[in-house]
Amino acid sequence: MVDEPEVFLYTDGACSGNPGPGGWGALLKHPKTKSIKTLSGGHPQTTNNRMELTAAIEGLRSLKPGKRWRVHLVSDSEYVIRGLTEWIEGWVAKDWRRGTKRDSSPVKNADLWKTLYDLTQRFDMTYEHVRGHRGHPENEECDRLATEEIKAMRRRAKEARAD
pLDDT tens-digit map of 86-104 = 999 999 999 999 888 878 8
CA distance 49 to 116: 13
- pLDDT for 21 beyond 50: yes
74 in a structural domain: yes
Name the packing angle between helices 48-61 and 110-120 (round to 10°).
Answer: 30
Set 89, 90, 118, 133: catalytic member: 133
Name the domain count of the chain: 1
pLDDT (mean) for 130-148: 94
52 catalytic, yes or no? yes
- pLDDT for 1 beyond 50: no
List, for residues 41-90, the tens digit of each pLDDT value. 999 999 999 999 999 999 999 999 889 999 999 999 999 999 999 999 99
Set 6, 12, 58, 138: catalytic member: 12
Set 23, 25, 52, 149: catalytic member: 52
| Residue 12 domain boundaries | 7-78+110-162
103 catalytic, yes or no? no
CA distance 46 to 132: 20
Set 6, 13, 23, 83: catalytic member: 13
- Provide the CATH number for the domain around residue 122: 3.30.420.10
Which pLDDT score is estimated for 76?
A: 97
Q: Which residues have C-beta within 8 Å of that of residue 50, sequence separation ≥ 6?
A: 13, 22, 43, 109, 112
Average pLDDT of the chain to the nearest whole number: 94
Look at residue 77 and give its three-state secondary structure. coil
Query: What pTM was computed for the model?
Result: 0.94
Q: Which residues have C-beta within 8 Å of that of residue 157, sequence separation ≥ 6?
A: 44
143 catalytic, yes or no? yes
